[in-house]
Chains A and B, each alone.
Chain A
């Protein structure tokens, strides 16, 4: 049996050939889940930020610093994506914030369906902001809409200032670029923050670029100000376009297991 070209497959029927024009987004199933997640967020007046970076750029450390700065004013939660372990979720919970850990078991990105499942483990009606910490990876997460309101991409000082040129799909979609671990700049002679910003502009991306250090609390005020401004902007659009959530929400969809 030839299984390479399909020449031995049974030919049932007349064998007429038809060409069907489709022209559909290849990830339309993910897009539908993402739109559904966005509806969930909006109907609960929750704002979702998607944090993406390479592994070790400081996403969790930034979230820890951010939680301490914002938890007096906002009800926060975190969805953590990792291949294995719930270490990051435990770090977040230590700050008194609910955290759901998604372990992808080797999967290189979070998809909208995984986020949807995680949302059922969060008390959305008692939250203001959900941070999604994506799997550390500058490639795959860029392709999957999760239903977030804003994308935040981190680039750490140890990675090199040309990362936006190397990973254009990721950095082109950023609503904010954070240059992290700036306390290490004195020890690194090859990371030039203005060069990193130029590489972002070369992608026709006008997103703000903020240099900071979460560990040394450098310039966290600028990041916090951006967050507060975006929360206000998103809230006003939520108030303009959606009705408040009634609390008797019916799920008009079927739940299915996530795919890789």
Chain B
């Protein structure tokens, strides 16, 4: 159920970005790795509920699932892995470093700008 808390954090970040410059938010893109500890489907279910009454109401949520990649400290190979088997796909050693797969990122926001918005400031 922590997906609800994460969704609330997401809305706060969307509001900070969209702020006064946007009339409404159309689409929100997230990047979530299998090791982020977040269930994308639960996040998608919570999203419209948390959006209600905010600038993001009615917006679509697009969740890009990323792959897990590890680099072996022993043989140097970079291979894909699964959440509970993060060993090297080449030599089988467990001494690996995670290169990708634990992301929990707000990537970008597509918004409809207001007529009176002067410019899009840096976030």
Binding site for B on A (CB under 8 A): 3-7, 9-30, 107-109, 111, 139-140, 142-144, 164-166, 168-170, 172, 199, 201-204, 206, 259-260
Dominant secondary structure of chain B at its interface with chain A:
mixed
Residues of A within 8 A of B123 (CB): 20, 22, 24
Q: Taking the complex as formed, is B90 at the interface, i.e. its CB lies under 8 A from any CB of chain A? A: no
Residues of B within 8 A of A4 (CB): 48, 58
Q: Taking the complex as formed, is B61 at the interface, i.e. its CB lies under 8 A from any CB of chain A? A: no
Binding site for A on B (CB under 8 A): 1-2, 4-6, 8-10, 12-13, 17-18, 21-24, 26, 30, 35-38, 48, 52, 57-59, 70, 83-87, 94-98, 102, 104-117, 120, 123
B17, B36, B57, B113 — most chain A CB neighbours (10 Å): B113
On whether the beta carbons of B111 and A204 are closer than 8 Å, the reply is no
Give CA–CA (A15, B112) in the complex, Å: 5
Taking the closest CB of chain B, its distance from the CB of A201, in whole angstroms, is: 5
On whether the beta carbons of B87 and A204 are closer than 8 Å, the reply is yes
On whether the beta carbons of A202 and B84 are closer than 8 Å, the reply is yes
Which A residue sits closest to B26, measured CB to CB? A17
Which B residue sits closest to A164, measured CB to CB? B84
Residues of A within 8 A of B8 (CB): 259-260
On whether the beta carbons of A143 and B86 are closer than 8 Å, the reply is no
On whether the beta carbons of A3 and B58 are closer than 8 Å, the reply is yes
Contact of B17 among A22, A107, A170, A203 (CB under 8 A): A22
On whether the beta carbons of A202 and B109 are closer than 8 Å, the reply is no
Give CA–CA (A172, B102) in the complex, Å: 11
On whether the beta carbons of B105 and A203 are closer than 8 Å, the reply is no
Taking the closest CB of chain A, its distance from the CB of B40, in whole angstroms, is: 12
Taking the closest CB of chain A, its distance from the CB of B58, in whole angstroms, is: 2
On whether the beta carbons of B114 and A22 are closer than 8 Å, the reply is no
Taking the closest CB of chain A, its distance from the CB of B48, in whole angstroms, is: 8
Give CA–CA (A174, B117) in the complex, Å: 47
Residues of B within 8 A of A203 (CB): 84, 86, 94
13 pairs from A and B in contact (CB 8 Å cutoff): A11-B24, A17-B26, A18-B110, A18-B112, A20-B123, A24-B13, A26-B106, A28-B13, A109-B2, A111-B5, A139-B2, A142-B37, A203-B84
A19, A20, A172 — most chain B CB neighbours (10 Å): A20
Taking the closest CB of chain A, its distance from the CB of B111, in whole angstroms, is: 6
Q: Which 8 residue pairs are nearest across A and B when measured between Cβ atoms?
A: A6-B58, A13-B115, A13-B114, A140-B2, A169-B37, A204-B86, A165-B84, A143-B37
Give CA–CA (A203, B87) in the complex, Å: 7
Taking the closest CB of chain B, its distance from the CB of A206, in whole angstroms, is: 7
Contact of A140 among B1, B114, B116 (CB under 8 A): B1
Given contacts A6-B59, A18-B110, A260-B5, contact A26 B10 (CB under 8 A): yes
